[in-house]
Amino acid sequence: MSDDQRFGLARSITLPGPLRLDSGAQLGPIDISYETYGTPADDGSNAVLICHALTGDQFVASTHPRTGKPGWWPRMVGPGKPIDPERHFIICANVLGGCMGSTGPGSIDPATGEPYAMRFPVITIRDMVRAQAMLLDHLQIATLAAVIGGSMGGMQVLEWAATYPERVRSAVIIAAAARHSAQNIAFHEVGRQAIMADPSWRNGAYYADNVVPSAGLAVARMAAHITYLSEAGLTEKFGRRLQARPENPYGAKSFGFDADFQVESYLRHQGISFVDRFDANSYLYITRAMDYFDLAEEHGGLLANAFAGSPTRFCLVSFDSDWLYPTSETREIVHALNAAGAAVSFVELSSPFGHDAFLLDVPELNRVVDGFLRAVV
């Protein structure tokens, strides 16, 4: 196996389309950027699709080309890890609407020769999955040994199992929900309004001179990042400790509006670093797709209908400190799967990290995923 195959091979494909969207609009041609790890089996039986979360991308276990940092899930993906390129042919694609090479609002509209910006059609989670299915058709992958994802990635996994049940042998859904709650929609709206209130946003037409709405996007990221953490985790990491400064390394109140507290400095850093790698319009479109997600609504108002007769084996994981997608919402999915007669296993793990636990060092998560995949793949 070559180093490229082992550690990630970046690819991009233009598919002619058109892709008919849930909104009724049609989109095409469509660019999809993706990474692969490992080698496909001769019979195609070892393909594993990883679906990324809102602010993720295809660089799941390899160096990010913009930030130079490691991929977003190296704890789960790699040699000797639960998702192993020695055993699996791993695919991770930047979602439709994204900003790392897949067609999104920053892409060139072939009809005008200019970026789509806000002319880009509104998309849904199901539209993202349909685009991924087009990619797999191009790769001649008829069925997937597993589809795996956390957060918005878990929503895509649920949509895969509901829309293409015959193509999904197993599904791993981590820290996700079958619909976005009113609270989650509210947090997203705060972020979108922060972006659209930035004078540099200019109704989304900021690409020509590259003056981006960085202040609004940074605030959106700060607000969202709070929801990914837990109170216990924030207290343990920061508490009310003051930020050290060169003139006072022990910390002191400025009696102003500088970042006096360590947690303030942390959030500002998260916001500023996010602007360097993400597009503001993509943030608008992807958060809207998440808000529209309601799997039961797509299937006559009854979630169990989404999985009727499903041949897929499911593994669901939640975290006890996750208040963004709490365990109660995972249990709703489990109950629906039970009602549909689907094969399902479920575990709630303990972690102080909140929603972000699926990205962080939680050894028990690795054991759960590894055990499940070895039993089904």
Give the three-class secondary structure for 202.
helix
Task: With cut-offs at 50, 70 and 90, classify the pLDDT of residue 252.
Answer: confident
Q: Do 133 and 256 sit in the same domain of this protein?
A: no
Predicted local confidence at residue 106, as pLDDT? 97
Task: With cut-offs at 50, 70 and 90, classify the pLDDT of residue 8.
Answer: low
Predicted local confidence at residue 167, as pLDDT? 97
Predicted local confidence at residue 246, as pLDDT? 74
Predicted local confidence at residue 292, as pLDDT? 98
151 is catalytic: yes
Mean pLDDT of 275-289: 97
Q: Do 322 and 203 sit in the same domain of this protein?
A: no
Predicted local confidence at residue 6, as pLDDT? 47
**Is residue 288 domain-resident?**
no
**Is residue 45 domain-resident?**
yes
Predicted local confidence at residue 377, as pLDDT? 75
Task: Please name the residue that has the structure tokens 């949509």.
Answer: 159
Query: Per the structure, how many domains does the chain have?
Result: 2
Q: Do 14 and 102 sit in the same domain of this protein?
A: yes
173-223 pLDDT, tens digit per residue, is: 999 999 999 999 999 999 999 999 999 999 999 999 889 999 999 999 999
Q: Which of 260, 283, 306 is the last residue of a domain?
A: 283
58-78 pLDDT, tens digit per residue, is: 999 999 999 999 999 999 999
Measured between alpha carbons, how far is 166 from 142 in angstroms, rounded to an integer? Answer: 9
Contacts (Cβ under 8 Å, ≥6 apart) of 73:
50, 60, 61, 359
Of all residues in the chain, the percent with pLDDT exceeding 90 is 88
DSSP code for 121: P
Q: Which of 258, 283, 308 is the last residue of a domain?
A: 283
Where do runs of H (alpha helix) occur along the chain? Answer: 3-7, 125-138, 152-163, 182-197, 214-228, 231-237, 262-275, 280-292, 327-340, 363-376
Mean pLDDT (the chain, rounded) = 94
Q: Do 312 and 176 sit in the same domain of this protein?
A: yes
pTM, full prediction: 0.95
Q: Do 175 and 191 sit in the same domain of this protein?
A: no
Closest CA to 134 of 28, 286, 285, 4: 28
* Domain residue limits at 204: 185-283
- Given 198, 291, 322, 356, the catalytic residue: 322
Domain holding 348: CATH number? 3.40.50.1820
- Given 33, 151, 310, 318, the catalytic residue: 151
Domain holding 235: CATH number? 1.10.1740.110
